[in-house]
């Protein structure tokens, strides 16, 4: 479970993390339909209100999708934490194998591999047809459909890592700073439709630009999949201003943390705000082919396990970052 990570004493309440995970897994394991999302946001608002945060919800259409966004109320925040709460459908096995081989961080190589593989498999199907093995060709096509297409149409039943862990991370930070004077300068945002192409964060960006909501130097940190992998990744896109500021605090608690510039390749909602230096923090494992990282078991029915100790270490690091940022 904790290879490469030293577990010790945490500021964050581990029992509370376990409680949230158990509650969310039991009652809100998937958030795909409008009804499922509304029910979950009701629960998140309740958790924020218990900690004396005011919240606001926005429903906005963008790129043909209805996005349900929830945030704590905050004028001109100095630090914004983001996490998407929507859940995916099941990733077909063929695509999952490609991400394990090359990594989520090497999406272009993985995509090229998949294109060649599909062309090869299509050639084999054509060959079966040409030699008159029509029944075998049909059976082959059915198998390939299950390996590469059909699971996409089924909701993933378990989503502990992606991204219930990130939602728990935001609630944990809200808990940690609820009695701090700088609480009013930190905003927590729960985003929708990340799984369909970062749509919720793009909708939010338009709203914030119209309202001139952010400061010129607002720090933005996205949490996505923060309880399972071996290596904590601090991901940015060209602009490493925020990454350089946060890294020392991660290294104090997570010495194996790595900075990674994914340039023009999106991984999560921080990409929408990349020009501001927004970062994503995710735990990942090294890919089978060296050089990449993949997030294990996400978008699959196997996404059941939540390791609160790993999440607690990250929350402690980010709490230290905030306390240092706002110290007098």
φ and ψ of 12, to 5 deg: -75, 140
Nearest residue to 274 (alpha-carbon basis) of 108, 82, 84: 82
The answer to which of 47-56, 107-116, 281-290 has the lowest mean pLDDT is 107-116
Q: Which of 56-65, 116-125, 157-166, 300-309 has the lowest mean pLDDT?
A: 116-125
In the three-class reduction of DSSP (H, G, I as helix; E, B as strand; rest coil), residue 285 is classed as strand
CB 53 within 8 A of CB 87: no
Task: Give the list of residues 6+ apart from residue 176 with CB closer than 8 angstroms, or none.
Answer: 11, 12, 315, 319
Task: Dump pLDDT digits (tens) for 75-105.
Answer: 999 999 999 999 999 999 999 999 999 999 9
The confidence band for 2, taking pLDDT boundaries of 50, 70 and 90, is very low
Task: Judge whether residue 6 has pLDDT over 90.
Answer: no
The C-alpha torsion from 67 through 177 and 221 to 98, rounded to 10°, is -80
Encode pLDDT of 242-263 as tens digits.
Answer: 999 999 999 999 999 999 999 9
Instruction: Give the rounded percent of residues in the chain with a pLDDT score beyond 90.
Output: 88
Q: What is the pLDDT of residues 134-167, one digit of tens each?
A: 899 899 889 899 889 999 999 999 999 999 999 9
Strand-pairing partners, residue 233, are: 258, 282
Residue-wise pLDDT tens digits, 169-187: 999 999 999 999 999 999 9
Q: How confident is the model at residue 56 (pLDDT cuts 50, 70, 90)?
A: very high
At 66, which helix (H) or strand (E)? strand 65-72
Under 8 Å between Cβ of 160 and 26: no
Tens of pLDDT, residue by residue over 8-40, are 578 899 999 999 999 999 999 999 999 999 999
| Predicted local confidence at residue 81, as pLDDT | 98
Task: Give the chain's mean pLDDT.
Answer: 94
Mean pLDDT, residues 46-53 taken together: 97
Q: Residue 14, Cα to own-chain centre: how many angstroms? A: 21
- Compute the average pLDDT of residues 182-199: 97
Q: What b/e string do you get for 282-311 counting C-beta neighbours within 10 Å, with b at 16 or more?
A: bbbbebeeeebbbbbbbbbeebeebbbbbb
Q: Given a cut of 60, is residue 273 above it in pLDDT?
A: yes
Domain architecture of the chain: domains with CATH? 14-90+156-325 (3.40.630.10), 93-153 (no CATH)
């Amino acid at each position: 479970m904790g290879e490469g990570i030293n577990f010790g004493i945490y500021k964050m309440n581990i029992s509370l993390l376990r409680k949230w995970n158990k509650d969310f897994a039991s009652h809100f394991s998937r958030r795909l339909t409008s009804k499922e999302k509304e029910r979950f946001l009701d629960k998140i608002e309740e958790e924020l209100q218990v900690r004396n945060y005011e919240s606001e919800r926005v429903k906005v259409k963008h790129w043909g999708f209805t996005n349900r966004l929830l945030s704590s109320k905050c004028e001109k925040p100095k630090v914004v934490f983001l996490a998407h709460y929507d859940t995916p459908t099941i990733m077909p096995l063929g695509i999952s194998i490609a991400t394990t081989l090359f990594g989520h961080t090497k999406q272009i190589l993985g995509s090229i591999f998949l294109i060649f593989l599909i062309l090869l498999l299509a050639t084999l199907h054509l060959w079966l047809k040409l030699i008159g093995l029509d029944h075998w060709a049909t059976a082959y096509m059915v198998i390939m459909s299950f390996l590469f297409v059909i699971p996409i149409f089924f909701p993933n039943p378990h989503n502990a890592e992606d991204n219930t862990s990130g939602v728990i991370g935001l609630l944990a930070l809200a808990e940690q700073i609820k009695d701090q004077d700088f609480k009013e300068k930190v905003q927590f945002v729960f985003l929708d439709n990340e799984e369909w192409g970062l749509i919720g964060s793009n909708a939010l960006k338009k709203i914030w630009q119209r309202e001139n909501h952010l400061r010129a130097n607002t720090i933005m940190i996205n949490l996505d999949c923060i309880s399972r992998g071996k290596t904590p990744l601090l991901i940015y896109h060209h602009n490493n201003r925020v990454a350089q500021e946060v890294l020392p605090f991660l290294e104090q608690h997570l010495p194996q943390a790595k900075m990674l510039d994914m340039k023009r390749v999106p991984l999560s909602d921080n990409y929408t705000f990349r020009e501001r230096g927004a970062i994503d923090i995710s735990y990942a494992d090294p890919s089978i082919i060296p050089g990449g990282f993949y997030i294990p078991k996400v978008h699959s029915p196997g996404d059941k396990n939540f390791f609160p100790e790993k999440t607690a270490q990250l929350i402690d690091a980010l709490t230290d970052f905030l306390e240092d940022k706002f110290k007098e």
